[in-house]
Amino acid sequence: MKISRVSKTIHGKYILSDINFSIETGSIIGVIGRNGAGKTTLLRTMTGILDPTKGDVTIDGYSIFKKPQIKEQVIFVPDSSEAFKNYSTKEILTLYKNIYPKFDEEYFYGLMERFSLPSVKKTGAYSKGMKALFSLIIAFSTGARYILLDEPTDGLDVIVKKQVLQILIEEVAAKDVSIIISSHRLDELEFMANKIIMIKDGKVDSLYEIEEMKEMYKKVQLVFKETMPQNLKKEVTILDQTGRVYTVIMDRNDPKIQHMIEETEPLLFEELPLLLEDIFVAKLGGVSHVS
């Protein structure tokens, strides 16, 4: 799946601008960005719900806008599944079987049983967690290779959330599919995703393997004799400061910064474990508003 030069303006405002990336199957990709960064718009454009102002989305070389049949390979699961409140479980099954020729009914019932989801007359009767599970089960049964999830764990309790994430991981482990998750829950994506797309002001700021990204940065705790020198402040991102104690993110591979710090003879210069959240803050800025 390839996203090439996609731009989208809504009400004359750029929501996405010149987005390029491609995704292969067999991975879990996290789309992260601050609220209003354009995560949902990106996912909706990738499924053809919205027309891009410029650019194209292709699967196996076919544009999803010119050849919509190719969208049998993509399924979008929105953050709330209000569309089928009045449908029974069976009716939804009939609907999806008729849309996706590769729909695997046996697999569907297998998952329903495993997560002890009952068949109901109206899916509106499902609890919030059941609805989330149900839309995932449906999505996984369609046989689509690219599964786009918008905030799949929003508002779920811990137990259901774990179930949702586990079925998601098994899906990737068992089949040749890719799951694209938009989320602001960085702690969840931390170990689950292998790639991260960061969106900032409608632009893709980076598409990296998480491990690659972690090798680029280093999180350290510093205690200076006095305050941090001004010239050093320009080189690092300060996550936190209490008195003379600083927590900063710095470039791991730049000996210059390392050297600068050593020159100030800090009282403490210690590496801390680097979390996705730290990179997020370093890349997209602003300690607050992460979630």
Cα atoms in the Cβ-side hemisphere of radius 13 Å centred on 160: 17
Q: Which of 28, 138, 196, 261 binds other proteins (CB under 8 A)?
A: 28
Cα atoms in the Cβ-side hemisphere of radius 13 Å centred on 49: 14
Listing from the earlier edge strand, what are the strands of the sheet with 217-223? 237-242, 245-251, 217-223, 268-272
Residue 23 near other proteins by CB under 8 A: no
Closer residue to other proteins in complex, CB, 52/266: 52
Closer residue to other proteins in complex, CB, 2/44: 44
Residue 191 near other proteins by CB under 8 A: yes
Residues contacting residue 194 through CB under 8 Å, at least 6 positions apart: 27, 28, 29, 209, 210, 211
Which among 189, 192, 202, 194 has a CA at the least distance from the CA of 280? 189
The token pair at 69 is 């049949």
Which among 27, 40, 52, 74 has a CA at the least distance from the CA of 196? 27
Tell me how far, at minimum, the Cβ of 226 lies from other proteins, in Å. Answer: 27
Residue 110 near other proteins by CB under 8 A: no
Residue 290 near other proteins by CB under 8 A: no
Residue 159 near other proteins by CB under 8 A: no
Asked if 108 contacts 136 with a C-beta cutoff of 8 angstroms, the reply is: no
Closer residue to other proteins in complex, CB, 211/262: 211
What is the rounded distance in angstroms from the CA atom of residue 132 to the CA atom of residue 154?
9
Which among 39, 12, 138, 35 has a CA at the least distance from the CA of 84? 138
What is the rounded distance in angstroms from the CA atom of residue 202 to the CA atom of residue 36?
9
The token pair at 238 is 């300060």
Residue 19 near other proteins by CB under 8 A: no
- The SS3 of residue 5 is strand
The token pair at 251 is 């470039």
The stretch among 24-32, 113-121, 126-134, 198-206 that binds other proteins (CB under 8 A) is 24-32
Residue 95 near other proteins by CB under 8 A: yes
Size of the site for other proteins (CB under 8 A): 54
Tell me how far, at minimum, the Cβ of 198 lies from other proteins, in Å. Answer: 17
Tell me how far, at minimum, the Cβ of 91 lies from other proteins, in Å. Answer: 7
Within positions 203 to 262, which residues make up the interface with other proteins, using CB under 8 A? Answer: 211, 214
Within positions 43 to 72, which residues make up the interface with other proteins, using CB under 8 A? Answer: 44, 47-51, 68-72
Q: Which of 22, 36, 54, 99 binds other proteins (CB under 8 A)?
A: 99
What is the rounded distance in angstroms from the CA atom of residue 244 to the CA atom of residue 264?
13
Tell me how far, at minimum, the Cβ of 227 lies from other proteins, in Å. Answer: 27
Residue 80 near other proteins by CB under 8 A: yes
Q: For other proteins, what does the binding mask look like between residues 113 and 142, x meaning CB under 8 A?
A: -----------x------------------
Residues that bind other proteins (CB under 8 A): 10, 26-28, 41, 44, 47-51, 68-72, 74-76, 78, 80, 82-83, 85-87, 91, 94-96, 98-100, 124, 162, 165-167, 169-170, 172-174, 191-194, 211, 214, 271-275
